[in-house]
Structure 1
Amino acid sequence: MRAGRPGGDARDGADAGVPAELRQLLATRRYRHLMAVRLVGQASDGAFQAGLATLFFFAPERQATPAGVALASAVLLLPFTVVGPWAGVLLDRRPRRSVLGWGNLLRAALAACVAVALARGAGDVVLGVLALATLSVNRALLAGLSAALPRVVAPGRLVLANSITPTAGTVAAGAGAAVTVGVAAVLGTDAGADVGALCVAAAAYAAAGLVALAFPRDLLGPDPSPRPSGGRSGTGPVAVVRRASRDVAAGVAHLRERRAAAAALGVVAWHRWAFGLTTVAVVVLCRRTLAPVEDPSRGLAVLGVLLTAVAAGSGAAALAAPWGARRERVTAWIRGCLLLAGAAQLLVGLTTDVVALAVAAFLLGVGGQGAKIGVDTVVQRGVDDAYRGRVFTAYDLVFNVSYVLAAGASVLLVPDDGRLGVVAVVLACGYALVAAAHGRAGARPPAGARAS
């Protein structure tokens, strides 16, 4: 079932110029509403995650190592690999407006608990468990935002919307992180600065939840769909789990029928793996090589510069994608973005010059976010709305599992000084191979997909 046209101008807009399309998109009230939920929520994410980073990686008493950074990064992502598929069922069986609203309010409560625990001197285990819960909810809500986007945007403007919306969210998260990192670099990396950042994040999460609950109940979907046949009905816990399991299986089967969407998830898997490995290396590089080990604030300032460069690259991708990723050339766009990210990856591994690293970070932002814009569009066009929540949680599952695997691999592949060297060459070659494979996959007609 095709989603209804969003409020405002319902023309396809495929033949309009990008500036005209952008004006029409921004004139759509419900699109602006959904954008507000994303921007406030992801700026909060950036502040929250940067507060955790200063606490766990850049506190003066901690000496970051590849194993330590990898373990912390993996643990922070593991919960969603367990709850993700079930969150997808929730997004396809309950009003997405309610999931986004109450989910953000839950995040606000959890972030406030983290701040209180930190202020009272709780140990790493307590802080880690609370952080895990907060970040698990975060990933489910990002999947919900992506699944809801086609409900408020005309099909012909999906590329533009996918350029502006997730990219603006990434820039907002980067800005939230950069501000937190900058404040910590000036005021110090003590617990007081982290408590302040977490309190601000909690308040912003609450604001995002209230904005989401202002949507009409059914506007964001999902479309109704029949449940998979088989099995007995019931209301007990076993019956609920059984029905949810069948719903997850139905979502996987739907994705398997959509070859273009499945191939796009392969692109995400590789990029996230390579980027995860590089992230661990860069954190270690900033902490142990680019600044004196005894001066964590200086290393944190360098990391802030690189985060800002990545955010700027993501913004540049948003400007270029509406032209480069139109319907007939989205496969070529994704391939080009992968090659650009591979070149940047090579530069990261072969230099420790901060200016060169900032350029590489910018190019990684362009290539990574540009590829994601194309992938989001392919997935949104290629799957039915009734399955979109499950498919996008599968997307996030791939996103997180790939990063966790990269974190594990970094223990073996990232040296103690953070210099990747020959590993970066291998990663760059991997980008080229994935680009070539995706080009071949994109040339085949997608099975079961409909034009939109």
Structure 2
Amino acid sequence: MPRPGVLEELALLVRTPRYRHLLGVRLAGQAADGAFQAGLASLFFFSPERQATPAQVAFAAAVLLLPFTVVGPWAGVLLDRRPRRSVLGLGNLLRAVLAVCGAGALAVGAGDAVVGALALAVLSVNRALLAGLSAALPRVVVPGRLVIANAVTPSAGTVAAGVGAAVTVAATAAAGTGGDADVVALLAAAGGYLLAGALALRFPRGLLGPDPGAVAAGPRGTATAVLRASARDVLAGVAHLRERRAAAAALGVVAWHRWAFGLTTVAVVVLCRTTLAGGDAAAGLAALGVLLSAVAAGAGLAAVLAPWGARGRVNGWIALCLLVAGAGQVAVGLSTSPAVLAVAAAALGLGGQGAKIGVDTVVQRSVDDAYRGRVFTAYDLVFNVSYCLACGAAVLLVPADGRLGAVAVALGAGYAAVAVLLAGRRAVAGSAPAR
């Protein structure tokens, strides 16, 4: 029997009720993420009274991501030992409460420390929930449609986040940065989190995994016993990843891309705040909004192209996407033309999201369901730690005007080198069960 074409597979995928349900959870949550993060960007980077130097931007970005490096491994155990439906539902409801508290803190004039602490909590929970969504996907999609599901699902989430951010940036810029506009942004994010939590809790309890035996085997007893058992679970997840060389190599690709992308993000924020806007905070925020929209458009294009590109050798598709991202990286560093920067941002969105689609597929096919939560949490740890390390490097490598120059050329060469190494690896085979 001939294999269905990409369009037929896509039609079958979107007609799957459980898949549409999980997609709705992701879209609601990530649109809210975009609004929340845009509100934070307006508050911390583009308020008129703040001067966004590379060191300040890098420090703020790193601080907002570092907490997940502490809570992440334990979140992975939770995703493999508790119903993922409950984790996704209650986690999003918790984020809604925290976002409302952040808005309230802003409204009453609380200091940056209070608002920042609440933001850290929201973003820490966020990464655990994204790992949970990736771990749950093979439970609602048949193995043969994982590539197209990974093309549509995370890419649609990235586009939703970009749209949420762009709309929030536009509204904030129109209202004037800071003040009530940032409060509204956080309240809008809370509404999105509330919707995502309500949708997640509508799943049957055991549908998203893990299997009942894994839930029953979860650590119990005193707090110390639970902590020790959880630590053993974390180590077992790392050992499982060591045995799955394809998944480990895929995480290496993620580590490089996030490091390069993190460095570039710091440079672009500084570039928008200084060189492109001449110090005008509102104009800088508007310029950043255009580039965010371009990244979202590139990610959307990746969702369209990936089912065709990754239909054969997944590693070859990932390598091609890395080359596209590398070209965008070079253009960002060498030009200050708004048009060129928009095209380069779209290339980064296309290449980065396209590579992630392939990486997600490799990890899902390589890893057993009983370990999937922990491995995807390790994935997110790599995702965030690499970005944080890039923020540290940005203090040394990003100039005060945000122009990367030769550094961007070196980053582009790095993308090409990783692509060549990956293209020579054998593609992973096999898949995980879906329900």
The answer to whether the superposition gives a TM-score over 0.5 is yes
Name stretches of at least 5 consecutive residues in structure 2 with no aligned partner. none
Determine whether 1:192 maps to 2:180: yes
CA contact (8 A) 1:47 1:176 kept: yes
Shift in Å, 1:314: 0.3
Question: CA offsets per residue over residues 125-162 of structure 1, 9 Å max, x none?
Answer: 11111100000000000000000000000100000000
| Counterpart for residue 422 of structure 1 | 406
The structure 2 residue matched to 1:204, chosen from 192, 197, 204, is 192
Residues 48 and 234 of structure 1: CA distance in aligned 2, closer, same or farther (over 3 Å): closer
| Counterpart for residue 432 of structure 1 | 416
Determine whether 1:312 maps to 2:297: yes
Name stretches of at least 5 consecutive residues in structure 1 with no aligned partner. 1-12
| Counterpart for residue 38 of structure 1 | 26
Instruction: Specify the SS of the correspondent of 1:218.
Output: coil
The residue identity in structure 2 corresponding to 1:136 is: S
Question: CA offsets per residue over residues 275-315 of structure 1, 9 Å max, x none?
Answer: 0000000000000100121x211111111110000000000
Q: Name the CA distance, whole Å, in 2 between partners of 1:238 and 1:190.
A: 45
Runs of 4+ in 1 over 2 A off after TM superposition: 223-227, 449-452
Determine whether 1:78 maps to 2:78: no
| Counterpart for residue 155 of structure 2 | 167
Residues 91 and 14 of structure 1: CA distance in aligned 2, closer, same or farther (over 3 Å): farther
The residue identity in structure 2 corresponding to 1:360 is: A
CA contact (8 A) 1:225 1:386 kept: no
Shift in Å, 1:223: 2.3
Instruction: Specify the SS of the correspondent of 2:66.
Output: helix
The residue identity in structure 2 corresponding to 1:275 is: F
Q: Name the CA distance, whole Å, in 1 between partners of 2:119 and 2:214.
A: 36
The structure 2 residue matched to 1:302, chosen from 287, 293, 302, is 287
Question: CA offsets per residue over residues 204-226 of structure 1, 9 Å max, x none?
Answer: 11111011000000000012566
Residues 73 and 25 of structure 1: CA distance in aligned 2, closer, same or farther (over 3 Å): same
| Counterpart for residue 23 of structure 1 | 11
| Counterpart for residue 359 of structure 2 | 375
Structure 2 matches for 1:87-126, cutoff 5 A?
87-126=75-114
| Counterpart for residue 55 of structure 1 | 43
State the number of aligned residues. 430
Question: CA offsets per residue over residues 242-287 of structure 1, 9 Å max, x none?
Answer: 1000100110011100000000000000000000000000000000
The residue identity in structure 2 corresponding to 1:216 is: P
Structure 2 matches for 1:316-327, cutoff 5 A?
316-326=301-311
Q: Name the CA distance, whole Å, in 1 between partners of 2:395 and 2:207.
A: 46
Q: Name the CA distance, whole Å, in 1 between partners of 2:15 and 2:94.
A: 31
Shift in Å, 1:190: 2.4
Shift in Å, 1:332: 0.4
Deviates more, 1:190-199 or 1:211-220: 190-199
Question: CA offsets per residue over residues 320-364 of structure 1, 9 Å max, x none?
Answer: 0000002x3111000000011111111111000000000000111
The structure 2 residue matched to 1:290, chosen from 260, 276, 295, is 276
Determine whether 1:243 maps to 2:229: yes
Q: Using the aligned pairs only, state the percent identity.
A: 72
Shift in Å, 1:439: 2.0
Q: CA RMSD in A?
A: 1.5
Question: CA offsets per residue over residues 166-224 of structure 1, 9 Å max, x none?
Answer: 00000000000000000111111021000011111111111110110000000000125
The residue identity in structure 2 corresponding to 1:173 is: A
The structure 1 residue matched to 2:164, chosen from 169, 173, 176, is 176
| Counterpart for residue 273 of structure 1 | 259
